[in-house]
Amino acid sequence: MAKILDGKKLSTEIRDELKQDIKSLKEKGIIPGLAGILVGDDEGSATYVRLKEKAGEALGIHSEAVRLSKDTTEEHLLQEIDRLNFDSEIHGIFIQLPLPEHIDENKALNAILPEKDVDGFHPMNVGKAWLGQEAFLPATPDGIREILVRYGYSNLKDKHAVIVSTDNLVGKPLASILVQEGVGANVTLCHSSTPNLSDYTRQADILVVSVNKAKFITASMVKEGVIAIDFGANYIENPADSTKKKLVGDIDFEGVKEKAEAITPVPGGVGPMTITMLLCSTVKAAKIMSHRQS
């Protein structure tokens, strides 16, 4: 039976460590500041922004949410970003995605100063990470990295990592973390439509899946001893209670856990790590800026 990679527990540990970091920053007169921009009134996005705000405040991070109406012009959004770029109390800026269709998402993301781009979506950060340089990383792949490291899987030199996801949020930046010289693995990037997908997944020492297809990866698709990481979030009918939906991942947890060496549950695996990693990046940004000023 597999070891459960408990993202919730790790997340609490990391937030405790962050409190210490923030305390010592405060002794130097620095309060880490995080600003989130929300455009429109999408309920899910609004909840996320509130969660990030609250989580930051709980640790003593100065948190600011900029809520703009859904018909905000691109020009106005860019002005807001610029204001935050110049605000010395703000060390990290994120834009809650998706943006309304009339706004060019790339243009907005590229307007954030790379030094404050704690979500790691600016091409400068994406490029540096890919080249193996110090950079801000997107929260999900960064959280996956942290889970692997904290559970003792830090040297991946003789491992084969198979990533089923090629998007800009998970697949690409995770490949960029895992492929680096030194401790990096052999990396295969698959699409969910890759022909004979199971030929690849069955080779994986580390399997990461993010395709949002409930129970897409079954036990027959993995090898004995795999480390299985699941970043899927799918709501399915709950057989026990028809009035409530049940949250499951992209991996058939019950089946795969019998074969895996380690596995992340859904919920409670990678999910809880994402906000924590955003807060880590904010504290890191504040530290870097304080070094520059001193």
Partner 1 sequence: MEIIDGRKIAAEIREELSQRIGKLKEKGVTPGLAAILVGEDTASLSYLRSIARGCEKVGMLMETVELPKNITQEELDKQIGELNQDPKFHGIILQLPLPKHLDTLRAESAISPDKDIDGTNPVNTGKLLLGEETFLPSTPRGVQELLIRSGHSPEGQHVVICGRSNIVGKPLMGILMQKRKGANATVTVCHTGTKDLPSITRQADILVAAMGKAKAITADMIKEGAIVIDVGVNQIEDPATGKFKLVGDVDFEAVKEKAGAITPVPGGTGPVTSAMLMINTVKSAERTNK
Annotated catalytic residues are 52, 96, 119
In the complex with partner 1, which residue's Cβ is closer, 59 or 112? 112
d(C-alpha 76, C-alpha 184), whole Å:
42
d(C-alpha 255, C-alpha 226), whole Å:
13
d(C-alpha 294, C-alpha 290), whole Å:
6
Write the CB contacts of 65 (distance below 8 Å, at least 6 apart in sequence). Answer: 35, 36, 37, 38, 49, 50, 53
Is 97 a residue that touches partner 1 (CB under 8 A)? no
Pick one of 124, 219, 233, 247: the residue that binds partner 1 (CB under 8 A): 124
Per-position x/- string for 155-194, each x denoting binding to partner 1 as judged by CB under 8 A, each - no binding: --xxxx-----x-x---x--xx--xxx--x-xxxxxx--x
> Footprint of partner 1 on residues 225-264 (CB under 8 A)?
none
Least CB distance from residue 120 to partner 1, whole Å?
10
Pick one of 133, 154, 198, 218: the residue that binds partner 1 (CB under 8 A): 133
d(C-alpha 244, C-alpha 83), whole Å:
43
Return the SS3 of 66: strand
Least CB distance from residue 165 to partner 1, whole Å?
11
Least CB distance from residue 202 to partner 1, whole Å?
12
Residue type (1 letter), 129: A
d(C-alpha 100, C-alpha 235), whole Å:
24
Residues at the interface with partner 1 (CB under 8 A)? 106, 122-128, 130-133, 157-160, 166, 168, 172, 175-176, 179-181, 184, 186-191, 194-195, 199-200
